[in-house]
């Protein structure tokens, strides 16, 4: 729904949705619709509400199909209860249009965090990734595919008791935003910069494409740009994604191997979401740490505090870097070549360890083999000379 569409229908602060949710102010707006902070007048609590699709202009059958699909996705998302997932409370119908009613978390998204810090440290991103992967593994277990994982859909609580808590939002919403008919097989909906290659080629999103999109999201916040780069021409970008050739990462440190695994062009070579979670947790904690040490915990920086980018006290910059927004109705790209043959862009990098200052003892130990060979050569030479002298003596 466009802003002008909402204005015509009088949607704004104080508007009462479905006789129950009173809109307060806009929290933000993405590719379609806006998210509002609202008051649930029945339960007397704050909620976030979002109209993700509109039936205006559709014929009655199409309108019914869109409405039913949105309600179905909302009900599916409502099945999921996880500490790292935004809870879905309700799907409300207002003038025949579906609105999603969600848990409200005063937060900033990773997309907003990237306007404060150009890039985020791998150690912090590994914790975010492990927690989100745990929520997504639970969703996959329940038969729910997210379809639109990206920095804008990962929220980090920026104040109060939950400060630093990570939650993934917008489950299944990309499908709700899709084109009217379920015959939308021929078009793709989601955020091209984070698509898995097979999705860019027109395949339906699966658990494995969620793994790729989470990998692409984490890559983006560490590297400062998505794995296939930024392009205002979404069709050109889609063609690059479909080839599966990501830019080799340079700043991912201990996250390099887990990310390259998640970003495998061929879905068959990618880890499951649960495996990805374990690999990300190992990158955050080292081999001795266990996943349970991270779950339900706030994000910590290397100094043991919640990072500044996650705090409401750190001002957001005005300019929003363009790192991709949700789109619908994209035509699939079908490049030549199969994804089975596509390989990782680089072999796992070997990270140089920092050189320690060298002592005199280290230098003596290092030169010992050379000294030894010189001595042996001298002894051999002496023996040869002695033998020659003995032989030639009358």
Ligand X SMILES: Nc1ncnc2c1ncn2[C@@H]1O[C@H](COP(=O)(O)OP(=O)(O)OP(=O)(O)O)[C@@H](O)[C@H]1O
Q: Is 334 left (phi over 0), alpha (psi -120 to 50) or beta?
A: beta
Least Cα distance to 344 among 242, 210, 246 occurs for 246
Q: The tokens 């494995």 sit on which residue? A: 208
73 sits near Mg ion (criterion: CB under 5 A):
no
Q: Which of the following is catalytic: 40, 61, 134, 148?
A: 148
Q: What are the CA-CA distances from residue 105 to residues 46, 165, 168, 169, 270 (Å)?
A: 9, 10, 11, 10, 32
* Tokens of residue 231, six digits: 């392009």
Q: What are the CA-CA distances from residue 59 to residues 55, 56, 63 (Å)?
A: 8, 9, 6
Which listed residue (97, 170, 231, 278) binds Mg ion by CB under 5 A? 170
**Annotated binding residue 203:** no
Which listed residue (55, 115, 153, 165) binds Mg ion by CB under 5 A? 153
List residues binding ligand X (CB under 6 A): 27-32, 35, 48, 86, 102-105, 107, 109, 111, 152-153, 155, 169-170, 325-326
Shortest distance, position 144 Cβ to ligand X, whole Å: 17
107 sits near Mg ion (criterion: CB under 5 A):
no
DSSP per residue, 28-66 = EE-SSSEEEEEEETTTTEEEEEE-----TTS-HHHHHHH
Q: Which does 5 bind (CB under 5 to 8 A by kind): ligand X, Mg ion, none?
A: none
Q: Which does 86 bind (CB under 5 to 8 A by kind): Mg ion, ligand X, none?
A: ligand X
Shortest distance, position 252 Cβ to ligand X, whole Å: 23
Shortest distance, position 329 Cβ to ligand X, whole Å: 14
Q: What are the CA-CA distances from residue 55 to residues 8, 66, 95, 285, 367 (Å)?
A: 15, 7, 10, 48, 79
Q: Nearer Cβ to ligand X, position 311 or 325?
A: 325
Q: Which residue is nearest to ligand X (CB)?
A: 30
204 is catalytic: no
Q: Which does 48 bind (CB under 5 to 8 A by kind): ligand X, Mg ion, none?
A: ligand X
- Report yes or no: 90 and 101 within 8 Å, Cβ to Cβ: yes
Positions at the binding site for ATP: 50
Could you list the residues that contact Mg ion (CB under 5 A)?
Answer: 153, 170
Active site residues: 148
């Amino acid at each position: 729904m466009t802003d002008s569409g909402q204005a015509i229908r009088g949607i704004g602060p104080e508007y009462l949705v479905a006789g129950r949710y009173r809109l307060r102010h806009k929290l933000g707006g993405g590719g379609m619709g806006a998210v509002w902070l609202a008051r649930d007048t029945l339960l007397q609590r704050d909620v976030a509400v979002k109209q993700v699709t509109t039936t205006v202009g559709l014929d009655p059958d199409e309108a019914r199909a869109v409405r039913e699909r949105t309600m179905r996705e909302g009900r599916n998302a409502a099945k999921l209860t996880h500490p790292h997932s935004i809870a879905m409370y309700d799907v409300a119908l207002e003038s025949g249009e579906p609105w999603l009613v969600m848990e409200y978390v005063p937060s900033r998204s990773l997309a907003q965090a990237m306007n404060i810090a150009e890039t985020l440290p791998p150690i912090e991103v590994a914790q975010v990734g492990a927690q989100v992967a745990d929520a997504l593994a639970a969703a996959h277990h329940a038969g729910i595919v997210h379809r639109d994982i990206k920095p804008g859909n990962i929220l980090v609580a920026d104040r109060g008791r939950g400060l630093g808590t990570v939650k993934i939002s917008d489950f299944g919403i990309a499908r709700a935003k899709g084109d009217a008919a379920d015959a939308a097989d021929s078009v793709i909906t989601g955020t091209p910069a984070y698509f898995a290659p097979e999705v860019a080629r027109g395949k339906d999103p699966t658990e494995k494409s969620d793994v790729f999109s989470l990998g692409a999201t984490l890559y983006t916040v560490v590297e400062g740009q998505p794995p296939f780069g930024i392009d205002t021409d979404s069709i050109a970008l889609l063609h690059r994604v479909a080839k599966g050739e990501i830019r080799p990462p340079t700043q991912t440190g201990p996250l390099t191997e887990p990310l390259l695994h998640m970003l495998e062009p061929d879905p068959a070579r990618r880890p499951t979401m649960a495996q990805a979670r374990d690999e990300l947790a190992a990158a955050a904690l080292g081999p001795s740490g266990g996943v349970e040490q991270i779950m339900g915990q706030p994000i910590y920086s290397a100094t043991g505090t919640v990072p500044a980018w996650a705090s409401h006290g750190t001002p957001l910059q005005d300019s929003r870097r363009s790192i991709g927004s949700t789109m619908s109705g994209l035509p699939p790209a079908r490049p030549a070549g199969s994804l089975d043959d596509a390989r990782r862009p680089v072999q796992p990098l070997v990270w140089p360890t920092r050189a320690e200052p060298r002592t005199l003892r280290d230098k003596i130990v290092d030169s010992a083999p050379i000294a030894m060979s010189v001595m042996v050569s001298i002894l051999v030479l002496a023996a040869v000379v002695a033998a020659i002298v003995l032989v030639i003596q009358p």
